[in-house]
Amino acid sequence: MRLLAYAFVFCACCLLTACPVDPARRELQSGRIESGIPAAPSRMAFITSFGGTGVEEGKFQRIGGLAALNGRLYVADHQLSRIQYFDYFGKYLGSWGCGLDVNKFGVTEQSLALNSEASEHELMSAEVVRAIAERTFFRAFDVATYEGDVLVLNNFHSRADSRTAMMTPEIIRFSPDGEFKRTYDIPSLLPAFLAVNEEKHLIGVSDIINNAFQVFDVYTLESVGGSRQGLISSYQGYIEQVYSTPDPKEQVRISRLLLKTGSKEGEFDFINGLAFYSAEQENGETVDMVLAVDRNNSRIQVFTVQGEHLKTVQGRIPGGNIWFARPADIAVSDEGIVYLSDQNMEQPRVIVFSSRFNPLYSLGHPEMKSPGYIELTEDEFVFIADTKSNQVFVFGPRKEKLAAEQSAMESARSEEPVEVNPSS
């Protein structure tokens, strides 16, 4: 999941709210946002929204992913080391995680770079070190489900040297109620989005430092493919180069050189969301693909799982209009319908495309200012996390809206005081 200066490299918590924009491409965002995409069809309706900024139950400091499983919606909070879960209408059901603020109790990249030999006990409090060992302290940047469990994408480094660190970027597997099961180590330096193909047992992870994605086999954790070879493999080497100077502007310059951004096919300028996608070819063969959001280039790139570039879907259409300008996350329904969140300030919304990437309709709300993470369910619920207000917006079949309204009215009536007439 995130998006105005290369501050995201130095503060990973800002990924969905701050993003570097190449001045040469600012004109792409100055065109007219196409408003001709129709609103959602009549069968789809806005049902409710819930959340908001805070630390109490049902609130979030920074939403870090959405995942739906068996009538529950799991919402990660990457600043508070916490996963909360709700029913589909926003009723709070429970949570897990230590709830400690990662920004306050964790350690910054600069501190790691300047204290590369220090242990976790020297860098952080005993409470945090204990929580790291128990896997209740993490920085969740996405969440997904797999075989009835919840997968949390952690991108927190507890030490500069990954070989001796207690915690490095990994996927943490929990039961639906938060019981720790295991971790999956992933060779990703700053993972930000997670995709799962449960049928093929594949996991996809986008890595912002490498501006690439990788696909792994869940069972073996061997790499199946990805978008670029020759990835940066040393986190310590990366941060030590970036922080070799105290000058913040020079740090940004070095970082940008190392990130190897680009606009050619297969290159990225700030990779964001991922989604697996399968399509039948003319010869009848089904090809498994990965859709990857290329944020600053305002496009979606389509690859085979192995990493072969197949297609680019541009946010700009002929004539100068723009379908989308600041894409963030992407999701695909079982029917092959593609959902893309666009954080363009003029018209923030989620755009829904056909399997051939023809725009069908859009989902939006007056209070939705910066749509980020998207989650879909088989029964047509669409959950959208707003990264500015820390709210979750719920869309779904109109019949579900009517049922929710009826349930709310019945609940309100049940809470009304009952008049008792005294005996005469």
3-state SS class at 393: strand
How many CB atoms within 10 Å of residue 99? 16
Structure tokens at 189: 């330096």
Choices 1.10.760.10, 3.30.565.10, 2.120.10.30, 3.40.50.12160: CATH for 22-412: 2.120.10.30
Q: Give the pLDDT confidence of 55-88 residue by residue, as tens digits.
A: 999 999 999 999 999 999 999 999 999 999 999 9
Cβ-based burial of 337 (10 A; exposed 0-12, middle 13-18, buried ≥19):
middle
Q: How far apart are CA 11 and CA 15, in angstroms?
A: 8
| Bridge pairing between strands 82-87 and 92-96 | antiparallel
Mean pLDDT of 180-203: 94
Contact 120, 422 (CB under 8 A): no
Q: Give the pLDDT confidence of 259-282 residue by residue, as tens digits.
A: 888 899 999 999 999 999 988 777
Contact 285, 315 (CB under 8 A): no
Q: What pairs with residue 75 in β-bridges? A: 66, 84
Is 287's pLDDT higher than 50? yes
Reference 77, options 99, 93, 94; nearest CA is 99
Residue found by looking up tokens 């500069």 in the block = 160
Q: Indicate the helix (H) or strand (E) that contains 384.
A: strand 382-386
Mean pLDDT of 406-414: 64
Contact 92, 57 (CB under 8 A): yes
Is 221's pLDDT higher than 60? yes
Reference 152, options 47, 24, 65; nearest CA is 65
Name 139's Cβ contacts closer than 8 Å, sequence gap at least 6.
Answer: 12, 13, 64, 78, 79, 81, 102, 106, 154, 155, 156
**Higher-pLDDT residue of 21, 349:** 349
Q: Letter for the amino acid at 185?
A: D
Contact 272, 329 (CB under 8 A): yes
Lowest mean pLDDT among 96-110, 348-362, 396-410: 396-410
Q: Indicate the helix (H) or strand (E) that contains 240.
A: helix 235-242
Is 107's pLDDT higher than 50? yes
- pLDDT score recorded for residue 416: 55
Is 9's pLDDT higher than 80? no
Cβ-based burial of 329 (10 A; exposed 0-12, middle 13-18, buried ≥19):
buried
Average pLDDT, the chain: 86
Where b means 16+ CB within 10 Å and e means fewer, 200-238 reads eebbbbbbbbbbbbbbbebeeeeebbbbbeebbeebbeb
Q: How far apart are CA 249 and CA 46, in angstroms?
A: 44
Contact 107, 101 (CB under 8 A): no
Q: How far apart are CA 366 and CA 200, in angstroms?
A: 39
Q: Give the pLDDT confidence of 306-320 residue by residue, as tens digits.
A: 999 999 999 987 677
Structure tokens at 408: 């709310």
Annotated domain spans of the chain:
22-412
Residue found by looking up tokens 């954790």 in the block = 221
- pLDDT score recorded for residue 35: 58
Contact 345, 49 (CB under 8 A): no
Cβ-based burial of 93 (10 A; exposed 0-12, middle 13-18, buried ≥19):
middle
232: pLDDT confidence band, cut at 50, 70 and 90?
confident
Q: Letter for the amino acid at 283?
A: N
Alpha-carbon dihedral of residues 318, 320, 322, 328, nearest 10 degrees?
Answer: 90
413: pLDDT confidence band, cut at 50, 70 and 90?
low
Contact 184, 171 (CB under 8 A): yes
Name 126's Cβ contacts closer than 8 Å, sequence gap at least 6.
Answer: none
